[in-house]
């Protein structure tokens, strides 16, 4: 591992960190942190050297003077995935994570260095076997595939051992009931049997655990760009703010390889880095984030609205922002679920790029996300074809991405729709198109748009024929983003007629807070 893992700090940055941390020493062989630890400080090395090791004791990288230790779990609160020990006598500065959060928001240059390094280090860890959690289960197990998908969406370092192909893995599952599969091995040695997403998250220290009943000023449902925008501005303006998210903070934007047109980032920014910055900013202002929790019901009220979660929790809120976004659309073909998570994917990240090198890959879709994925995979060595149903990509795709497709040798096939998948045991071999052509592909990436995540609302708020939430004067609401229920708002992709752009979603989330302040009456007792 080179490049981002070995970045160094300037003398002025070291001095800044020293003012916010504590100088410590370590002798050769001393552990600075270990796999399974619940937390560790940010470490900036003044003198000496430290090695970072995986669970088997293999050295991943060494850091010397002016180097620093840490990756995304410093900010996310996740369990430690690696061990660090001194290989030469060390003098270093230790900065506790909450102090580091504050510093990153105050020092833009230091934030740029650390956050980009943390994100890239996490991506590199995702490509290494034996780091993070170990999932053991057969490919034909839906709970196993679901947990693998959750780990990917959470951008967790993990390995999956298919017990159908591995004798040792099969022995590990002997004696377990079907409902106890998959087996999950946590960093540090603990094991879980068929954990839910929430149980795995709690075991890894991810996210807040909610009480049976919570009362807040502002409840934000959804942790994508719109939800995080609402959380940052709501909390910064003094509202007690809670964000609940059913999957991963960041939404679809968080999985984007690069957002090229976001204001203030002329070179672009990865979705992961933008999300990390937003979450850090929200927490700075004391907004709370709870994942994974899924909303089940909204019961409007006079003083407080009541939102019930599938996990049994209840939240009484003076105002609610619905920012649940939309879910990926799927191909209308038979047996699609057999391939999902194995050779059919809805995002293209480092784990997928690693297995696709030298393979024939199809990316399906005509929008910017499809183009970004196609370029990313092609740069990783895959032989990529972009399939889309229109006659002209320029109708739906930004011009700079059309140039990128050509630059990286992505083949484009228009007027093409898939009608059948061919393969076995979850391994794709070919697809058939509507014109009868059969094309050999080992992997398929689907970027077909999305449907709003609003079924849980029922008739609580007014929605259009596609399920998107109506807002504004046309339904009699006072504010542009207010729904048919006073003090319930919609922002981002979930809102009818919204512009499906990351920056627009953030803007809507931020704008909601003004309407919230205008509408909130003095607090009344929750029912």
Nearest alpha-carbon partner for 245 in 306, 293, 308, 298? 293
Count of other CB atoms within 10 angstroms of residue 446: 23
Confidence of residue 257 (pLDDT cuts 50, 70, 90): low
Number of domains in the chain: 4
Say yes or no: 431 and 470 in one domain: no
Do both 250 and 301 map to the same domain? yes
Q: Are residues 404 and 470 in the same domain?
A: no
The verdict on residue 20 lying in a domain is yes
Residues 149 and 248 in one domain: no
Task: Return the pLDDT at 115.
Answer: 87
To which residue do tokens 């959690």 refer?
133
The CATH number given to whatever domain includes residue 353 is 3.50.50.60
For residue range 204-255, what is the model confidence (pLDDT) as tens digits?
888 788 999 999 999 999 999 999 999 999 999 999 999 999 988 988 787 6
Q: Is the pLDDT of residue 518 over 90?
A: no
Per-residue model confidence (pLDDT) at position 400? 93
Write phi, then psi, for 307 (nearest 5 degrees): -115, 125
* Beta-strand relationship, 83-95 and 133-137: unpaired
What is the per-residue pLDDT across 324-367, written as a single tens digit (0 to 9) for each?
998 878 899 999 988 887 899 887 877 678 889 999 999 999 99
464 and 439 part of one domain: no
pLDDT in tens, 10-41: 999 999 999 999 999 999 999 999 999 988 99
Chain-centroid distance of CA 226 in Å reads 14
Which of 96, 126, 156 is the endpoint of a domain? Answer: 126
Q: Which residues contact 120 (CB under 8 A, 6 or more apart)?
A: 3, 4, 5
**Can you give the pLDDT at residue 3?**
45
Last residue of a domain, one of 421, 448, 475: 448
Task: Classify residue 202: in a domain, yes or no.
Answer: no
Domain co-membership, 163 together with 30: no
Give domain status of residue 206, yes or no: no
Do residues 459 and 323 share a domain? yes
Q: Is the peptide bond prior to 182 cis by the omega test (within 30 degrees of 0)?
A: yes
pLDDT number for residue 133: 95
Confidence tier at 169 by pLDDT (50, 70, 90): very high
Report residue 103 as tokens: 């510093």
What pLDDT does residue 5 have?
57
Residues 439 and 465 placed together within one structural domain of the fold: no
DSSP state for residue 329 in the 8-state scheme: P
Co-location of 313 and 281 in the same domain: yes
Kindly state whether residues 232 and 139 are assigned to the same domain: no
Tokens of 77: 């609160």
Residues 515 and 481 in one domain: yes
Instruction: Work out the pLDDT band at 486, boundaries 50, 70, 90.
Output: very high
In a domain? residue 525: no
Instruction: Judge if 165 and 110 occupy the same domain.
Output: no
Examine residue 72 and state whether it is found in any structural domain, yes or no: yes
522: confidence class by pLDDT, cuts 50, 70, 90: low
**Mean pLDDT value across the chain:** 91
pLDDT of residue 91: 98
Question: Which structural domain, as residue segments, surrounds residue 439?
Answer: 336-448
Query: Could you report the per-residue pLDDT of 377-425, keeping only the tens digit for each?
Result: 999 999 999 999 998 998 889 999 999 999 999 999 999 999 999 999 8
pLDDT per position as a tens digit, 434-444 = 999 999 999 99
Domain end among 126, 156, 171: 126
The domain that holds 57 is classified in CATH as 2.60.120.10
pTM of this prediction? 0.76
In this structure, is residue 201 part of a structural domain?
no
Position 490 in a domain? yes
| 199 domain residue, yes or no | no
């Amino acid at each position: 591992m080179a490049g981002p893992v070995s970045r160094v700090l300037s003398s002025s940055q070291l001095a800044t960190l020293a003012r916010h941390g504590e100088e410590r020493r370590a002798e050769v062989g001393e552990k600075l942190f270990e796999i399974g630890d619940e937390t560790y400080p940010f470490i900036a090395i003044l003198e000496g050297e430290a090695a970072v090791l995986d669970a088997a004791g293999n050295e991943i990288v060494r850091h010397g003077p002016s180097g620093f230790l840490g990756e995304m779990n410093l900010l996310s609160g996740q369990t430690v995935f690696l061990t660090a020990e001194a290989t030469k006598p060390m003098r270093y500065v230790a900065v506790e994570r909450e102090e580091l959060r504050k510093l990153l928001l105050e020092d833009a240059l230091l934030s740029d260095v650390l956050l980009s390094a943390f994100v890239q280090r996490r991506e590199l860890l995702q490509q290494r076997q034996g780091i993070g959690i170990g999932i053991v289960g057969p490919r034909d197990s839906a709970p196993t595939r679901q947990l693998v998908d959750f780990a990917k969406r959470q951008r967790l370092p993990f390995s999956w051992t298919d017990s159908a192909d591995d004798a040792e893995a099969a022995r590990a599952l002997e004696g377990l009931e079907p409902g106890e599969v998959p087996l999950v091995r946590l960093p540090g040695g603990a094991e879980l049997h068929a954990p839910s997403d929430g149980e795995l998250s709690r075991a890894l220290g991810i996210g807040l655990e909610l009480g049976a009943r919570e009362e807040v000023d502002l409840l934000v449902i959804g942790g994508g760009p719109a939800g995080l925008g609402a959380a940052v501005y709501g909390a910064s303006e003094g509202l007690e703010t809670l964000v609940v998210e059913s999957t991963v903070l960041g939404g679809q934007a968080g999985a984007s390889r690069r957002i090229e047109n976001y204001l203030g980032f002329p070179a672009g920014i990865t979705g992961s880095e933008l999300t990390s910055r937003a979450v850090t900013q929200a927490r700075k202002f004391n907004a709370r984030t709870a994942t994974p929790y899924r909303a089940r019901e909204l019961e409007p009220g006079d003083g407080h609205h009541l939102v019930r979660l599938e996990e049994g929790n209840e939240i009484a809120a003076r105002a609610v922002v619905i920012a649940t976004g939309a879910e990926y659309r799927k191909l209308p073909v038979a047996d699609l679920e057999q391939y999902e998570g194995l050779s059919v994917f809805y995002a293209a990240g480092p784990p997928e790029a690693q297995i696709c090198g030298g393979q024939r890959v199809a990316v399906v879709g005509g929008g910017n996300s499809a183009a970004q994925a196609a370029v990313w995979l092609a740069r990783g060595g895959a032989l990529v074809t972009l399939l889309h149903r229109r006659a002209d990509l320029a109708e739906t795709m930004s011009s700079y991405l059309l140039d990128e497709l050509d630059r990286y040798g992505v083949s484009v096939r228009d007027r093409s729709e898939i009608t059948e998948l061919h393969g076995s045991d979850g391994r794709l071999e070919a697809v058939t198109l509507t014109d009868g052509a059969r094309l050999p592909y080992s992997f398929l990436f689907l970027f077909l748009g999305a449907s709003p995540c609003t079924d849980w609302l029922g008739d609580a708020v007014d929605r259009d024929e596609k399920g998107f939430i109506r807002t504004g004067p046309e339904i009699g609401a006072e504010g542009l983003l207010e729904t048919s229920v006073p003090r319930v708002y919609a922002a981002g992709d979930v809102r009818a007629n919204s512009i499906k752009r990351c920056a627009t979603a953030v803007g809507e989330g931020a704008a909601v807070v003004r309407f919230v302040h205008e509408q909130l009456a003095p607090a009344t007792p929750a029912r």
